[in-house]
């Protein structure tokens, strides 16, 4: 899918994006040296609480071979004292964390009691096509009277009220996440609360002696904004999410909230022992990028020791002082509170934020404790070693703004998503190299497979590119090469930008594995 979009088709849609559209990739390359946010900030209309006043919630855990989750609307307090309507998995935001063991299949039955169709995708899952959550495989609510977008796809498989998804989980131990993936309406559905984490474990990882139990924290970071009545503000063209998709003009590059939530709480604080902690970090924001660092109140920075990426453990730890994370990326990080005095506060801050969005959360080091955990020099020996010489083909893909119908859209190779069109066909077992290029920020996600980043801008990958990934963050004007083997299952899958607004406005493509 090589670039076919003419310069006349590229649109200027405000801010940095307009510069890119007018000047092409040369201007984008200049922007990449001073990366800006892709998107516009939606301001809250209610008073916001102070940072580090709300305790960090820990999502409940579900396990077992068969799990049932009801998708339903609830009223909850996200901001203290302010009721907010949410769409949820199981009545909470985030949804319950599912814990599984490698190679042990799990069937999750989802019952849709929401007012619109839904689809569930296990992001990062090595999943057969029929359970992957294709955007037109809708789970319809009872009495749904609209035809819906699934009807435009002859291969769509719709279900009434309930659908069971089977996940073999024949894959490396890691933290995945599940979220709504309905065609054209993924962004507002995730924004309203349809997201949760799924941890896959195995005996090899458990034998390493990494921090565990209460010292292993799943952390879902997501930004939101609140309307005057306490509801979640979102600039949908159709707030019912039933017919017309998309967002209002100022936000078509992405919706950025002004409240940073971690596990559904605004700027929370968590009391910790003076010991090592394992932080399983997910960026579940629609469009916001973060560059995280751990800072004491005296300004001293702590090391972020990365032990894992999207698809599991690295071969060896990588030490960072700051760690950029794009929408849908996950990082497995060790933070050692044993090296700071009791009574200290360690803030997790976002170097890309400003004002209130610079703070993320805080840890209060409150007690001494024994710590038998360790960080092995070798974490894993099962990472794939695909070589360039193994690739049977190389493909080029551009991720750029463009015209979609009568309005603005986001295109892959000059085309907007169409469920009835096959964009890429590959054979089961083939190794391929994909070369990706972006105009603005685009976190590119492949379904089914993990990949390795081979290069960025013709140079070596960055330190945070280590390991096996399923989402790569392209910065403005940047190109990257990735390599993967398309194994696992045959069928129809997707690749797309995980800026959720871009995804809803055309930036997806079909991948057929034969």
Q: What is the per-residue pLDDT for 21?
A: 37
Please give the CATH architecture assigned to the domain spanning 213-367. Sandwich (2.60)
Superfamily for domain range 7-34+384-513: Cupredoxins -  blue copper proteins (2.60.40.420)
Which is more confidently placed, 25 or 153? Answer: 153
pLDDT at position 147 is 54
pLDDT range class, residue 408, cuts 50, 70, 90: confident
pTM: 0.93
Residue 486: pLDDT band (50, 70, 90) is very high
Give yes or no for a cis peptide into 400 (omega within 30° of 0). Answer: no
Q: What is the pLDDT of residues 436-466, one digit of tens each?
A: 999 999 999 999 999 999 999 999 999 999 9
Say which CATH architecture domain 61-205 belongs to.
Answer: Sandwich (2.60)
Mean pLDDT of 202-221: 98
Q: Which of 509, 496, 38, 27 is nearest to 252 (CA)?
A: 38
Whether the pLDDT of residue 146 is over 70: the answer is: no
pLDDT average, residue stretch 46-64? 98
Confidence at residue 24, expressed as pLDDT on a 0 to 100 scale: 39
Question: Is the confidence at residue 27, as pLDDT, over 80?
Answer: no
Handedness of CA 284, 163, 422, 489 (dihedral sign): positive
> Residue 30: what pLDDT?
37
Could you tell me if residue 96 is left (phi over 0), alpha (psi between -120 and 50 degrees) or otherwise beta?
A: beta
When pLDDT is averaged across residues 126-143 and rounded to a whole number, the result is 97
Domains 7-34+384-513 and 61-205 share a fold: yes
Q: Where are the domains of the chain?
A: 7-34+384-513, 61-205, 213-367
CA distance 379 to 413: 38
3-state secondary structure of 337: helix
> Number of helices and strands (H, E) in the chain?
4, 36
Instruction: Identify whether the C-beta of residue 122 lies closer than 8 Å to the C-beta of residue 176.
Output: yes
Q: Quote the CA–CA distance of 263 and 61 in Å, as a whole number.
A: 13
pLDDT, position 152: 78
- Tell me which DSSP letter residue 209 carries: -
Contacts (Cβ under 8 Å, ≥6 apart) of 203: none
User: Max alpha carbon distance in the chain (Å)?
Assistant: 64
List, in order, residues 6 or more apart from 448 with CB less than 8 Å away.
126, 127, 132, 486, 488, 489, 493, 511, 513
Residue 255's pLDDT is 98
Question: Which H or E run includes 330?
Answer: strand 330-336
What's the pLDDT band for 243 if we cut at 50, 70, 90? Answer: confident
Distances (CA, A) of 120 to 8, 135, 307, 417, 492: 37, 9, 28, 19, 16
In a 3-state reduction of DSSP, which class is residue 415? strand
Q: What is the pLDDT of residue 380?
A: 98
């Amino acid at each position: 899918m090589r670039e076919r979009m003419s310069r006349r088709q590229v649109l200027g849609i405000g801010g940095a994006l307009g510069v890119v559209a007018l000047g092409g990739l040369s201007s984008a390359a200049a922007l990449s040296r001073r990366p800006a946010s892709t998107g516009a900030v939606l301001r809250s209309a209610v008073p916001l609480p102070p940072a580090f006043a709300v305790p960090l919630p820990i999502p409940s855990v579900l396990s077992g071979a068969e799990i049932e989750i009801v998708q339903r609307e609830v009223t909850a307090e996200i901001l203290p004292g302010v009721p907010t309507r949410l769409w949820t998995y199981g009545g909470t935001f985030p949804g319950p964390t599912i814990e599984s063991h490698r190679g042990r299949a799990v069937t999750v039955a989802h019952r849709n009691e929401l007012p619109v169709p839904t689809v569930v995708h296990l992001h990062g899952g090595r999943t057969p096509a029929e359970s992957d959550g294709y955007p037109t495989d809708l789970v319809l609510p009872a009495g749904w009277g609209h035809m819906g977008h699934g009807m435009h796809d002859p291969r769509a498989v719709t279900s009434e009220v309930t659908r069971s998804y089977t996940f073999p989980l024949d894959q490396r131990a890691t933290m995945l996440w599940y979220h709504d993936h309905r065609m054209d309406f993924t962004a507002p559905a995730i924004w309203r609360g349809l997201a949760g984490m799924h941890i896959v474990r195995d005996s090899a990882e458990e034998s390493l002696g990494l921090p565990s139990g209460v010292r292993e924290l799943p952390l879902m970071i997501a930004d939101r904004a609140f309307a005057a009545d306490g509801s979640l503000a979102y600039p949908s063209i159709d707030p019912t999410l039933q017919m017309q998709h998309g967002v209002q003009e100022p936000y078509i590059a992405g919706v950025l909230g002004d409240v940073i939530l971690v596990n559904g709480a605004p700027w929370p604080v968590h009391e910790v022992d003076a010991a090592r902690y394992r932080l399983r970090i997910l960026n579940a924001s629609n469009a916001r990028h973060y560059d995280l660092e751990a800072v004491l109140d005296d300004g001293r920075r702590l090391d972020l020791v990365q032990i894992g990426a999207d698809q599991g453990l690295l071969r060896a730890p990588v030490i960072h002082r700051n760690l950029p994370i794009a929408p849908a990326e996950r990082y497995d990080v060790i933070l050692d509170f044993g090296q700071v005095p009791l009574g200290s506060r360690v803030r997790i801050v976002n170097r890309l934020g400003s004002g209130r969005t610079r703070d993320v959360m805080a840890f209060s080091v409150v007690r001494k404790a024994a710590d038998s955990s360790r960080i092995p020099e070798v974490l894993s020996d099962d990472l794939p070693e695909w070589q360039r010489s193994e690739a049977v083909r190389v493909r080029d893909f551009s991720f750029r703004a463009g015209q979609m119908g009568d309005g603005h859209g986001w295109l892959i190779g000059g085309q907007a998503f169409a469920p009835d069109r096959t964009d890429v066909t590959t054979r089961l077992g083939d190794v391929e190299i994909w070369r990706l290029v972006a105009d603005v920020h685009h976190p590119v996600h492949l379904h089914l497979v993990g990949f390795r980043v081979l290069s960025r801008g013709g140079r070596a990958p960055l330190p945070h590119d280590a390991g096996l990934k399923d989402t790569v963050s392209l910065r403005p004007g940047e190109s990257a090469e990735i390599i993967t083997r398309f194994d696992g299952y045959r069928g129809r899958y997707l690749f797309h930008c995980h800026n959720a607004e871009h995804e809803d406005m055309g930036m997806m493509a079909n991948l057929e594995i034969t």
